[in-house]
Structure 1
């Protein structure tokens, strides 16, 4: 009984994969270019360095619903909001390293980081930011 069930499952998988594949092309010469082949005279290409005007929206593919909270640096953002926030706000003082699983100070942004132990057992962090950071338009 188990062998029959396994055989039926395997046949169902084979049928499923064969139904999803492209149909074989027939009647085309292998030396002739088809619609998908590129030709040397491709005049519809845009120059690579041409600047485009901003469209006013950001298209980002994610399976997480956005809640529009792009301005907080604390908890509450979901993954999609955090990525958009990083695009909008640019420099971060610390950066998460996936390889080590830790947060490290970004030397591009931070000039000096001081940890001060308070009398009540808490810590205060003082971050001095590099003075030569500029916006994308060159303004300080």
Structure 2
């Protein structure tokens, strides 16, 4: 919902903040999953080689392997790297529009229609990002099928 009390520049800045927050969330999610995958896959064999005790030889390596497998599946299904890139790109494009609007460059040099052009470009870019995001969402078609018949 758009509140008409915002100026076009404020509207653009709000969208920039929106995409910045989404990009940061996906960046953190991606980096944490990657770290957990690395820790799990590197430490599990080490604990197995220590062997001996039930905890160090079986329970801890099993837990680390399950954690790494879960994070790998999460990254493949949720695709935070792609979302991070998508949202950060949108953020940069909106920043570019805001700079060109602020300094009256290119399409924004005509001061009579600059406000309308900025709102249109911000809205178009937001819709474009949404349409780019839709194919990334997991659906029943792109989930593995169980062919155990």
Tell whether the structures are fold-level matches, with TM greater than 0.5: no
**TM-score using structure 1 length:** 0.21
**TM-score using structure 2 length:** 0.20
- With CA pairs under 8 Å and 6+ residues apart, which has the higher RCO, 1 or 2? 2
Name the structure with the higher strand share: 1
Structure number with bigger Rg: 1
Name the structure with the higher helix share: 2
